Structure 1
Amino acid sequence: MPAEPGQVMLGAYLGLSGHSLAQSLALRRSQLGRDQRIVHQFWGFGETLPRRRPDIGGATLMISWHGVRYADITGGGSDRRIAAAARNLAAQGKPLLLRWGWEMNGDWFAWGGAANGKDPGGYVTVWRRLHRIFREEGADNVAWVWSPNWNSSPDASWNRMQRYYPGDDYVDWVGVSGYDFYRESPSTLFDPVVNTYGDDKPIIITETAGIDFGGDSKARWIDDLSGYVRRTSPIEAVVWFDTDTHNDTNFRIDSTAGALAAYRKMARNARFQG
């Protein structure tokens, strides 16, 4: 389910204080003059994945599904849970994006290589098992998004993102998470993934947001992101982490008037009409 040729699907995770999802979608529609093309949600591995789509209009749903330690899956103990999840997502009857076990090359999640014996191969084994079970359950509407962090932590040879790649037959989209926490440029954040996988797979920026360092810094970074995506043809989707409820950091696109104006300009650019 790629975007239209030459165009980018623009969407968001929406977690706005005091707003339901419906209210958040309506607010952004009024501010941007358009709907989201992707709506991002997070689900725990132990939660029951939804059989019914949320009311997101014509948008594509992207589910980030939490992982677990590899042994909890490779031994077969989670097969029934995985099969039930596959059936539920298949029942939705519409294409969706599934991002399992993201940022696996970081050391902050239970499913990262650092928490699993420094064994990226174990992650590959788990991914392929999930993929097989979904295929057996007929979840053909699910597109698989493999999504490392933009850099690896720890920065060690065993933890290179390429070591976690399940293989082209098991991946539909390659994603990447990257925020300018230390004033990184979009090219610094995203070029490694684009240059490594962009010839073979569509690229989706699965999580990003600009940081407000004062003045017009956030607006300028959004402008830089827009320019970068416009000249980087393998990128076919961008999903903003649009929230003010995460770790006391305001990632909202409307945290300043300038940021909102810059984001609105990006959203209305012809390249972002996928």
Structure 2
Amino acid sequence: MTGGHRRRPEDGVTRRGLLGLAGLGAASSAGVFGMWKAASRETPLVVSGTPTAPPSASPSPFAKAEGKLGGTVPFTAGKAMLGSYLGLDGMTYPEAVKLRRDQLGRDQRITHVFYAWEDRLPDSIEGMPETSVPMVSWRGPKYGAILDGDADDLIAAAARRIRDLDRPALLRWGWEMNGDWYRWGGARNDEDTDGYVKCFRRLRGIFDDEGADKVSWVWSPNWNSSPKDDWNRIDAYYPGDDFVDWVGVSGYNLHRESPATLFDPIYTKYSARKPIMITEVGSKDYGGTTKADWIRELGTYVEQRPAIGGVVWFDTDTHPSYPEHWRLDSLPDAAAAYREMGENERFSG
């Protein structure tokens, strides 16, 4: 595994430090940091026993879609790919993959890896199962570094590396751009949402020019925006149907949010046009069976939303300076619930 595999913090802000400032507007770089802050509210939501059905306002899935759904990583009706970002304390990546295979009786269908903007993107991923699709989350710089053309050579080199994977791959550039915790977010780029759109399109154009034609492009906002100002609305960052293959969304059960609370806003807005992927998800443990219950609720939720074609768990206990173990086997009943979800025909994509 290349050195860029592990997700890294930015700007030196620790999760422990951020949690001490939660609700006071502290900035952070890690997506879960930002989601903790963005999800803060005076009265936490309580997860219900059964998820609500899709909102009546939701259009029919793919009613406005054009072309092949999902691009080179195709959407399959009735199926969802189940994958993970996998980083377990004291284990190499191949060792962690074997552990999960033994526990779950199956391999993950999506292998999620993180890379810094300056990193060499992977042309191979050691230990990745043969049947798995790589999803590369690639950090960004500030917009000017792309739009002035100075990064074109770096982008072209990255495109050639992904091309040399020689297999369909998901590329998730500049995720959670509607949060204020990453340098590529609109809040750190003079509220220039159009600048993000131009960057996304420029990257895709350079990748196309370099022959990286097995890439499916994932546009992946956070489930809600921070700040919650009109300029920072999620759809202001959308690059357009011609540039996006999958619409992703990050959402964690941090304050007893239901899956519907986390994911229905994106599902309602985009499922008529694009397949939906839950690109980062995890759940806190509130004691008892709460984590297992939430995993089962997530499975039921996905069964009720036919446009969802992928779910990617944040399966780790190594995230810097953060006490929560997002790993799916932090409790035996949570691991059992996840295995049940994986055995469901809906997750056989």
Question: Post-superposition, which runs of at least 4 consecutive aligned residues in structure 1 deviate over 6 A?
Answer: none
Question: Residue 24 of structure 1 corresponds to which residue in structure 2?
Answer: 96
CA distance in 2, matches of 1:90, 1:39: 17
State the 1:52 CA deviation. Answer: 2.4
Q: 2:270 aligns with which of 197, 210, 216?
A: 197
Q: Secondary structure at the match of 1:22?
A: helix
In the superposition, the TM-score normalised over structure 1's length comes to: 0.99
One-letter code aligned to 2:174: G
1:64 aligned counterpart, secondary structure: strand
> Between Structure 1 and Structure 2, how many residues are aligned?
274
Q: Which amino acid aligns with 2:332?
A: A
Give, in whole Å, the separation in 2 of the partners of 1:27 and 1:226.
22
Q: Distance in 2 between matches of 1:167 and 1:160?
A: 15
Amino acid of the residue matched to residue 32 of structure 1?
L
Residues in 1 aligned to 2:227 and 2:77: alpha-carbon distance in whole angstroms: 37
The reply on whether 1:45 has 2:117 as its aligned counterpart is yes
Q: CA deviation at 1:3?
A: 4.0
How far apart are residue 255 of structure 1 and its match? 0.4
Q: Which amino acid aligns with 2:223?
A: W
Matched, 1:210 2:293: no
Unaligned runs of 5+ in 2: 1-72
**Structure with the larger RCO, 1 or 2 (CA within 8 Å, 6+ apart):** 2
The answer as to whether partners of 2:94 and 2:126 remain within 8 angstroms in 1 is: no
Give 1 or 2: higher helix fraction: 1
Return the offset for 1:55.
Answer: 3.2
Which residue of 2 is the match for residue 268 of structure 1? 343
Map of 1:55-94 to 2, 5 A cutoff?
55-56=127-128, 57-94=130-167
Distance 1:17 1:213 in 2: 22
- TM-score w.r.t. structure 2 length? 0.78
Paired residue type of 2:328: I
For the aligned residue pairs, the C-alpha RMSD in angstroms reads: 0.8
Shift of 1:249: 1.3
Stretch moving more, 55-64 or 221-230: 55-64
In structure 1, the residue matched to 2:81 is 9
Identity of aligned residues (%): 54
Do the aligned residues in 2 keep the contact of 1:2 with 1:202 (CA within 8 Å)? no
Hey, what does 2:190 align to over in structure 1? 117
Q: How does 1:149-164 map to 2 (within 5 A)?
A: 149-164=222-237
Supply the distance in 1 between the matched residues of 2:159 and 2:123 (Cα, whole angstroms). 10
5+ residue gaps, structure 1, are none
Structure 1 residue 50 displacement after superposition: 1.7
Whole-angstrom distance in 2 between the partners of 1:50 and 1:196? 33
- Give 3-state SS (helix, strand or coil) of 1:80's partner: helix
